[in-house]
């Protein structure tokens, strides 16, 4: 054994299965002390006036930590809960318990790396060793066919190179047992505090909501089981993934992936099993393809560091954005007068989730139609999304904002064309915008096209019961 006591600091790797950090600690330490530290900085208010971590994600995080604690208790351990800045609290706790090493998973974004660095310095100054492990991607960084600083800027090139030149490592099994120091050494493992501790209220799901996600590894496994095996949906994923309504048009694994309640490698292995036992087709490949997008944004974040958060992005674009708080507020609250945009924003506000199609559309509307600073949109998503992932969020926002990795110059989404492709009958809009429910069919997407008499008959008054559209919306004919 390399160490007598190892403290394992959990971050966005809240699982026992396929957790290299934990596996190595169990192999190398006589006693293991799993720890989660709630960092109050993550719950602060941003300068735009909303919380950095909103209630949906905070709730999901608490559930995930609670589930991890239960999993440890089942195998003879526990999860110690700390509160404070991890770079101080974690080494202090390690010192107090006589742990001589801290193991943790590597992160790539700037804030997280600053914390890592400070934690390592504090630990070393107290004679505590630190070991960190790369584990949140499908492809391990050490297996890539290029150094990270040479990660291709165009996704297709990246994907082709990794698919050709790189193997996916097998996952690590869940430990069956853990050697935990016990009550004599840790009499109190700490309490999991409610949301109100962080100034947040529990958000009741909206009546229209179909999104029921519970945090934690157990729920992630249940979702995988249900999506792949019980409902047998994977075989049609490529055809359904651009849907808008319901739990089953896409995998909905993103909240669990973001907190590491499940690893992309274990999803990949389940895809391979499904391909053997059920069917192998375009859809089964496409889920892996999307996981490669996730890897890509993680490596781009590592390659470009702080630039992914900067206004000019990785292309160093000039600042040509507006900072109009009223327009931003209208976008945030789903009151732009453009039904497809508003419906998506209202869904986000009510559930903490939005489909990929919706995210692209509302992001494009904010930056292209309203001309608002793309980083404002990214920060709002950071607060609201239950599946917020620093690399995927900022990478996708840069992409839509035209300051990232999209080789195309103008990524404008024509709203009515999108609506006619993805919500032809207007059902999605009808679900989220009750003020317009009386309008039948596709007309609900363009209430401004209806005559005053028709609107009056339907008891809709644009500018009163529903806003006039902000921005000039290209007519449908022009879209083709
Ligand atoms: C502006 C914008 C912001 C976004 N912010 C986030 C975010 O904070 N967190 C997040 O996980 N995804 C983000 N995405 C990507 C994508 O919208 C979500 O991953 C997807 O909608 C989650 O639903 P799902 O799990 O059902 O996805 P599925 O379609 O089932 O895909 C499976 C998995 O592949 C990954 N994936 C799929 N598409 C992408 C993508 N474009 N980029 C990166 N990974 C992808 C996700 O991990 C997802 O869970 C964003 C996209 C846009 C356009």
State if residue 290 touches ligand 1 by the CB under 6 angstroms criterion.
yes
392 CA distance to ligand 1 middle (Å): 7
294 and 370 co-located in one domain: no
Of the residues 119, 135, 151, the one at which a domain ends: 135
79 and 140 co-located in one domain: no
239 and 355 co-located in one domain: no
121 CA distance to ligand 1 middle (Å): 34
Band of pLDDT at residue 467, cut at 50, 70 and 90: very high
Q: Whose CA is nearest to atom 3 of ligand 1?
A: 393
The reply to whether 359 falls in a domain is: yes
The reply to whether 14 falls in a domain is: yes
219 CA distance to ligand 1 middle (Å): 19
Q: Whose CA is nearest to atom 12 of ligand 1?
A: 392
State if residue 363 touches ligand 1 by the CB under 6 angstroms criterion.
yes
**What is the reported pLDDT for 471?**
76
247 and 282 co-located in one domain: yes
258 CA distance to ligand 1 middle (Å): 10
Q: Whose CA is nearest to atom 18 of ligand 1?
A: 356
Nearest atom (ligand 1) to Cα of 255: 11
295 and 333 co-located in one domain: no
Nearest atom (ligand 1) to Cα of 241: 29
The reply to whether 252 falls in a domain is: yes
Full 3-state SS string of the chain:
CCEEEEEEEECCCCCCCCCHHHHHHHHHEEEEEEEEEECHHHHCECCCCCECCCHHHHHHHHHHHHHHHHHHHHCCCCCEEEECCHHHHHHHHHHHHCCCEEEEECCCCHHHHHHHHHHHHHHHHCCCEEEEECCCCCCCHHHCCCCHHHCCCCHHHHHHHHHHHCCCCCCCCCCCCCCCCCCCCCCCCCCCCCHHHHCCCCCCCCCCCCCCCCCCHHHHHHHHHHHHHHCCCHHHHHHHCCCCCCCCCCCCCHHHHHCCCCCHHHHHHHHHHHHHHCCCCHHHHHHHHHHHHHHHHHHHHHHHHHHHHCCCHHHCCCCCCECCHHHHHHHHCCCCCCHHHHHHHHHHHHHCCCCHHHHHHHHHHHHHHCCECHHHHHHHHHHHCCCCCHHHHHHHHHHHHCCCCCCCCCCCCCHHHHHHHHCCCCHHHHHHCHHHCCCCHHHHHCHHHCCHHHHHHCCCCECCCECCCCCCCCCHHHHC
The reply to whether 17 falls in a domain is: yes
Question: How many domains is the chain built from?
Answer: 3
pLDDT digits (tens, 9 = 90+) for 172-223: 999 999 999 988 999 999 999 888 888 888 877 776 677 778 999 999 999 9
The reply to whether 110 falls in a domain is: yes
**What is the reported pLDDT for 479?**
44
State if residue 356 touches ligand 1 by the CB under 6 angstroms criterion.
yes
Band of pLDDT at residue 144, cut at 50, 70 and 90: very high
What's the mean pLDDT in 376-383? 98
The reply to whether 195 falls in a domain is: no
Nearest atom (ligand 1) to Cα of 297: 43
129 and 14 co-located in one domain: yes
357 and 407 co-located in one domain: yes
What percent of the chain has a predicted confidence (pLDDT) above 90? 88
CATH number at residue 273: 1.25.40.80
300 and 412 co-located in one domain: no
Domain extent, residue 238, equals 136-170+217-305
Flag whether the pTM goes above 0.95. Answer: yes
CATH number at residue 102: 3.40.50.620
What's the mean pLDDT in 351-372? 96
Of the residues 135, 160, 181, the one at which a domain ends: 135
pLDDT digits (tens, 9 = 90+) for 273-310: 999 999 999 999 999 999 999 999 999 999 999 999 99
298 and 438 co-located in one domain: no
The reply to whether 179 falls in a domain is: no
406 and 353 co-located in one domain: yes
Q: Whose CA is nearest to atom 4 of ligand 1?
A: 393
166 and 296 co-located in one domain: yes
474 and 325 co-located in one domain: yes
pLDDT digits (tens, 9 = 90+) for 87-116: 999 999 999 999 999 999 999 999 999 999
Please, what is the end-to-end C-alpha distance for the chain in angstroms? 67
């Amino acid at each position: 054994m390399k160490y007598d006591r190892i403290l394992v600091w959990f971050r966005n790797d809240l699982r026992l299965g396929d957790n290299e950090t934990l596996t190595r600690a169990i192999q190398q330490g006589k006693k293991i002390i799993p720890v989660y530290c709630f960092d109050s900085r993550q719950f602060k208010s941003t300068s735009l006036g909303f919380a950095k971590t909103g209630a949906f994600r905070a709730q999901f995080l608490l559930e995930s930590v609670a589930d991890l604690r239960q999993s440890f208790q089942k195998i003879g351990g526990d999860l110690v809960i700390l509160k404070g800045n991890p770079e101080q609290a974690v080494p202090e706790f390690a010192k107090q318990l006589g742990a001589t090493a801290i193991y943790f998973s590597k992160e790539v974004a700037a804030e997280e790396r600053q914390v890592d660095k400070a934690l390592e310095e504090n630990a070393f100054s107290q004679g505590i060793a630190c070991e960190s492990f790369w584990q949140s991607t499908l492809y391990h960084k050490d297996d890539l066919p290029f150094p990270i600083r040479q990660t291709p800027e165009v996704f297709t090139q990246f994907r082709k190179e990794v698919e050709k030149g790189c193997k996916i490592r097998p996952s690590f099994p869940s430990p069956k047992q853990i050697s935990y120091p016990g009550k004599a050494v840790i009499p109190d493992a700490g309490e999991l505090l409610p949301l109100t501790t962080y100034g947040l209220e529990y958000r009741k799901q909206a009546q229209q909501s179909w999104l029921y996600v519970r945090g934690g590894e157990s729920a992630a496994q249940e979702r995988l089981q249900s999506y792949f095996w019980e409902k047998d949906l994977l075989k049609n994923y490529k055809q359904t993934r651009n849907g808008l309504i319901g739990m089953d048009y896409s995998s909905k694994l993103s909240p669990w992936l973001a907190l590491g309640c499940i690893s992309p490698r274990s999803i990949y292995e389940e895809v391979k099993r499904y391909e053997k036992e059920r069917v192998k087709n375009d859809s089964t490949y496409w889920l892996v393809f999307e996981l490669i997008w996730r890897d890509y944004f993680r490596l781009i974040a590592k390659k470009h560091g702080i630039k992914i958060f900067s206004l000019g992005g990785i292309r160093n674009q000039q600042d040509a954005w507006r900072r109009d708080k009223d327009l931003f507020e209208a976008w945030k609250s789903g009151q732009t007068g453009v039904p497809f945009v508003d419906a998506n924003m209202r869904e986000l506000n009510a559930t903490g989730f939005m489909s990929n199609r919706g995210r692209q559309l509302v992001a494009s509307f904010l930056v292209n139609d309203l001309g608002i600073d793309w980083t404002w949109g990214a920060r709002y998503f950071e607060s609201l999304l239950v599946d917020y992932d620093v690399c995927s969020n900022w990478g996708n926002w840069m992409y839509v904002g035209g300051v990232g990795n999209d080789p195309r110059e103008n990524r404008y989404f024509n709203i009515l064309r999108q609506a006619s492709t993805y919500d032809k009958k207007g059902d999605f809009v009808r679900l989220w915008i009750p003020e317009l429910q009386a309008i039948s069919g596709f007309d609900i997407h363009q209430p401004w096209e209806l005559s005053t008499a028709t609107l009056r008959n339907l008891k809709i008054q644009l500018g009163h019961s529903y806003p006039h559209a902000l921005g000039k919306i290209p007519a449908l004919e022009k879209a083709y």
